[in-house]
Amino acid sequence: MTEHEIISNIRQGKTGVVPVTVPVGTRFGDWTVVGETHRRLSKKTGNFCRMIVCRCACGVVRAVFLFGLRAGKSNGCGCKRHVAKRRGLTREQLEADRSYRYKYGITAQDKDRMYQQQEGKCLICERWHEKLAVDHCHKTGIVRGLLCDACNFGLGLMKDDPVVLARAIAYLQAKT
């Protein structure tokens, strides 16, 4: 189909409301089908994509791609309140969880478990801290443990290089 034919179809109203192919009330994750469907021209493919009007469990109503619903790629509007409620987290915990997943590939629960295993102590200075930072290898991304901010910054300033750290230790031993 040429671009001219697509534009002609749009002008003739061939992209309007079409019969619902998914029964009203059908659930896809947090989405519930509530109404009619329509077609929208895809900017990527130039084809018409079927849209379904859905309501999220939090109350948001949106038109959603049918393909995304059926493929499981769209299961809610992403509202923090509802996602947090579903996971049993507060909004702050949800933000922390997203941050840890994105940066380190762990959940907030994983970090809490590590904190409990370390009894709240930094792995380097072995002092108790109310809050510990996630230490990870910048080359591999592997989480090594939890450190206090001072120790974590110190490793970062030494570029996580064991040779530089060994020189720093030798320097301190010689000058003390």
Q: Is residue 83 part of a domain?
A: no
Q: Is residue 82 part of a domain?
A: no
Give pLDDT, residue 32: 87
Please tell me whether the overall predicted TM-score, pTM, comes out greater than 0.85 for this model: no
Q: Is residue 71 part of a domain?
A: yes
**pLDDT below 70 — which residues of the chain?**
1-21, 36-38, 80-83
Q: Is residue 24 part of a domain?
A: yes
Q: Is residue 16 part of a domain?
A: yes
Which of 48, 76, 104 terminates a domain? The answer is 76
Q: Is residue 31 part of a domain?
A: yes
Which of 53, 76, 99 terminates a domain? The answer is 76
Give pLDDT, residue 43: 73
Quick one: which of 134, 110, 132 has its CA closest to 121?
A: 132
CATH number at residue 105: 3.40.1800.10
* Token digits of residue 143: 């989480």
- Tens digit of each residue's pLDDT (9 = 90 or more) over 110-146: 999 999 999 999 999 999 999 999 999 888 889 999 9
Q: How far apart are CA 90 and CA 97, in angstroms?
A: 10
Domain span at 35:
3-76
Shared domain for 48 and 96, answered yes or no, is no
Number of domains making up the chain: 2
